Chain A
Amino acid sequence: MLATAAFIFTSPALADDDAYLKGLSGSLNFNQSGGELQKGFDAAFVQAFTEASGVKVNYSSPQTDFARIKAMHEADAMEYDLLELGGQGDVTLLSKQGLLEKLDLKDLGLDGLPKQYVSEYGVDYGPSGSTLIWNTTVWPEDGKHPTSVLDLFNTKDFPGKRCIFGGAPYTNGILEYALMADGVPADEVYPIDVERALKKLDTIRDDLVFWNSGAESVQFVLDGQCDLGTTWSGRPALRKHQDPDAPIAMTWKDAMVGGGWLAIPTGAKNPKAAAAMIKLAMKPESQAKLCNIIAYCLPIPGVKELIDANMRPWVPIDDNIAQTALAENGDYYAENLPALTERWNAWRLGK
């Protein structure tokens, strides 16, 4: 279980104190995933930011390649002021290359956040679960259906194609789930026994279909490309919002929680504005708005109460978070990603 309920975080009284939004100038280039997430950022805090500060925000998407950030840094021509990153691992990976600015956590009012959600170089703008969804025309909710993310490996009860993220062996819990399905307790998953995880993955290899974007992870299950698959918890929420009858259901049981992080690249042209934007984004009101659009937000005091009832099943709070098994260990990945990617590729190629 995650100990998220136990932490103490004093939410900064921001309602009448937005002095930090004054005295800014210029524009702010925000690189992020685009699509629904961009709409969420826009409605949750970007519009308010521009209104209060006069700073125009330019979006770019999708998330930039790290090689590009490094090239910009070397050329001393950083295009971005604010980055949305895939997780704490990415933040550590970039900061180790000297590509991220240190944040003034105290000034941002973030020094009370648990370590899981913040580091010197970035902050989690909204954790999500790497959950399991399935097609309810195949396994109706009132009949036998998957009850844990680990049913990904249960081909006896739930045969058929299964979808997993193909982009990278992290941010989606696939290695963690393989180990847990093989009997490793959740708190002993790290450091990951890669060979054991891949051996477990071999058992479903022939049934695997890879998705590359969050939107695909849901679409493939609806299209019957696979009958069940992993996803990021906000994606089915979005789909259900548009189409309440979409035949998908989701389980939080044994899921891994990861995050999407905000960070400021070294050499950003407008770091002051970027820091102010982070500060605004982390306000409980902004977080709640984000949650009501894309189901990603921090479980900090003052947020939960503001979340709409129909969004709650998809947000990592209360019962949902209580059912999850572990949080992604970003530091592990930042340390081991090159070797892990090699091994993952070799496995994909069939070795």
Chain B
Amino acid sequence: MRSGRRTGWLGLAGVPAGLLLVTAFYLPLLSIGIRSITADASLSLGFANLSAASFVRLAEDTIVRRVVANTLEISLFSTLASIAVAYPLCIALRGLRPAARATVLALVTMTLWTSILVRLYAWTIILGRRGILNSIFIGTGLTDQPVDLLFNTTSVVIGMTNFLIPYAMLIMYPSIMGVDEDLLSAGRSLGAREVKVFARIFLPMTAPVLVAAFIVCLALSLGYYITPAVLGGPSDITVPVFIQQRARLFDWGSVSALGVSLLFVTLALTALATRLLPLERIFGGR
């Protein structure tokens, strides 16, 4: 941006992306926004047609409250779990030789190339009543009856975490690898113990990407439809599942209002995070 004047023509390279964003994202988003504030959920934005009824209905709907609470709970747990796995894994990668590091990275990102449905059904084989885990439990005499590991909130969180880990890793990996080993050595040579080196040097240096990974994972999981639909139990209705259901019944007013609300929640989360940490520090700035 600093060099904008000199390389202004380079901005043309952004035109295709810009056009795509406007037609495929902002215009539809605008139409959803309009539908959420018109009385008949239509696109006619006449003054007489404006209405907050869809939002009022949402606010008064106790089912929506439960659904939103479910969604937040599942998203938060999966996000924290994926970071709890990905962060130490990234740190461990620092200690590996480049070849071994590339192998681990490839193994993790490989899950991104596998269809999400295949991954989810793989979990049904692992977590099922006659699945791998239950076979081990029963075989080792840990339990005599199969444990219900599948089709509940736990299995949704497990599936979602599995989905989020590669994203969390790819976001945090460059920064974690980039922490200068000399700085850590300097800390140690000044007498700091490992815990202190981590807490005072490593953690602050990687905090921005931790937050970035948290935001991205939370945003991804808030809008995620397929995992709760496949791995969830009766009560695991999340906002995206709910939106799909209601859209099917042509209740576009409340669906739009719910979509807009979800968008604002995500934006608010991002805003909060960027207040704590400047955005350019999170997304690859200096």
List residues of A whose CB falls within 8 A of some B CB. Answer: 65-67, 70, 93, 97, 161, 166, 168, 205, 208-210, 212, 223-225, 337-338, 341-342, 345-346, 348-351
Contact residues in B for A346 (Cβ distance below 8 Å): 62-63
Interface string of B121-165 (1 = CB under 8 A from A): 000100011100000000000000010001100000000000000
Q: Does B275 contact A (CB under 8 A)?
A: no
CA of A341 to CA of B247, assembled, Å: 12
A-B contact pairs, 26 of them (CB 8 A): A67-B250, A70-B250, A97-B250, A166-B234, A208-B234, A209-B151, A209-B233, A210-B232, A210-B233, A212-B229, A223-B124, A224-B129, A224-B130, A224-B146, A225-B128, A225-B150, A225-B151, A342-B63, A345-B237, A345-B245, A346-B63, A349-B63, A349-B67, A349-B70, A350-B235, A351-B66
Contact residues in A for B146 (Cβ distance below 8 Å): 224
Judging by beta carbons under 8 Å apart, are B128 and A338 in contact? no
Which among B130, B151, B249 is the interface contact of A341 at CB below 8 angstroms?
Answer: B249
CA of A168 to CA of B249, assembled, Å: 11
Contact residues in B for A70 (Cβ distance below 8 Å): 250, 252
Judging by beta carbons under 8 Å apart, are B230 and A224 in contact? no
Instruction: Write the nearest CB–CB distance from B149 to chain A, whole angstroms.
Output: 11
Contact residues in B for A345 (Cβ distance below 8 Å): 63, 67, 237, 242, 245
Contact residues in B for A342 (Cβ distance below 8 Å): 63
| Given A210-B233, A223-B128, also A349-B66 (CB < 8 A) | yes
List residues of B whose CB falls within 8 A of some A CB. Answer: 62-63, 66-67, 70, 124, 128-130, 146, 150-151, 229-230, 232-235, 237, 242, 244-252, 255
Which among A210, A224, A225, A341 is the interface contact of B245 at CB below 8 angstroms?
Answer: A341
Judging by beta carbons under 8 Å apart, are B130 and A348 in contact? no
Instruction: Write the nearest CB–CB distance from B106 to chain A, whole angstroms.
Output: 31
Judging by beta carbons under 8 Å apart, are B63 and A210 in contact? no
Judging by beta carbons under 8 Å apart, are B237 and A349 in contact? yes
Instruction: Write the nearest CB–CB distance from B43 to chain A, whole angstroms.
Output: 8
Judging by beta carbons under 8 Å apart, are A65 and B244 in contact? yes
CA of A338 to CA of B67, assembled, Å: 17
CA of A350 to CA of B252, assembled, Å: 25
Contact residues in B for A166 (Cβ distance below 8 Å): 234
CA of A66 to CA of B250, assembled, Å: 8
| Given A66-B248, A67-B250, also A348-B128 (CB < 8 A) | no
Judging by beta carbons under 8 Å apart, are B151 and A210 in contact? yes
Instruction: Write the nearest CB–CB distance from A213 to chain B, whole angstroms.
Output: 10
CA of A213 to CA of B63, assembled, Å: 25
Instruction: Write the nearest CB–CB distance from B206 to chain A, whole angstroms.
Output: 39
Judging by beta carbons under 8 Å apart, are A67 and B247 in contact? yes
Instruction: Write the nearest CB–CB distance from A304 to chain B, whole angstroms.
Output: 35
Judging by beta carbons under 8 Å apart, are B248 and A348 in contact? no
Q: Which residue of B lies closest to A348 (CB)?
A: B234
CA of A349 to CA of B235, assembled, Å: 4
Contact residues in B for A224 (Cβ distance below 8 Å): 128-130, 146
Contact residues in B for A351 (Cβ distance below 8 Å): 62-63, 66
| Given A205-B234, A209-B151, A210-B234, also A338-B129 (CB < 8 A) | no
Judging by beta carbons under 8 Å apart, are A67 and B229 in contact? no
Contact residues in B for A209 (Cβ distance below 8 Å): 151, 233
Among A209, A223, A349, the one with the most B-chain Cβ atoms within 10 Å of its Cβ is A349
Contact residues in B for A341 (Cβ distance below 8 Å): 245-246, 249
CA of A335 to CA of B128, assembled, Å: 38
Instruction: Write the nearest CB–CB distance from A342 to chain B, whole angstroms.
Output: 7
Judging by beta carbons under 8 Å apart, are B248 and A67 in contact? yes
Q: Which residue of A lies closest to B245 (CB)?
A: A341
Judging by beta carbons under 8 Å apart, are B249 and A348 in contact? no
Contact residues in A for B233 (Cβ distance below 8 Å): 209-210
Starting from the known contacts A65-B244, A338-B249, A345-B237, 8 additional A-B residue pairs (CB-CB under 8 Å) come to A65-B248, A168-B245, A223-B130, A224-B128, A225-B150, A342-B63, A348-B235, A349-B235
CA of A345 to CA of B241, assembled, Å: 11
6 interchain residue pairs of minimum CB distance: A67-B247, A224-B130, A348-B234, A349-B66, A338-B249, A66-B248
Contact residues in A for B252 (Cβ distance below 8 Å): 67, 70
CA of A66 to CA of B246, assembled, Å: 10
Judging by beta carbons under 8 Å apart, are B230 and A161 in contact? no
Instruction: Write the nearest CB–CB distance from B110 to chain A, whole angstroms.
Output: 26
Instruction: Write the nearest CB–CB distance from A65 to chain B, whole angstroms.
Output: 6
Q: Which residue of B lies closest to A209 (CB)?
A: B151
Instruction: Write the nearest CB–CB distance from A265 to chain B, whole angstroms.
Output: 15
Among B63, B128, B232, B248, the one with the most A-chain Cβ atoms within 10 Å of its Cβ is B248
Contact residues in A for B151 (Cβ distance below 8 Å): 209-210, 225
Instruction: Write the nearest CB–CB distance from B243 to chain A, whole angstroms.
Output: 9
CA of A293 to CA of B255, assembled, Å: 39
Instruction: Write the nearest CB–CB distance from A166 to chain B, whole angstroms.
Output: 7
CA of A210 to CA of B150, assembled, Å: 11
CA of A212 to CA of B130, assembled, Å: 19
Judging by beta carbons under 8 Å apart, are A225 and B234 in contact? no
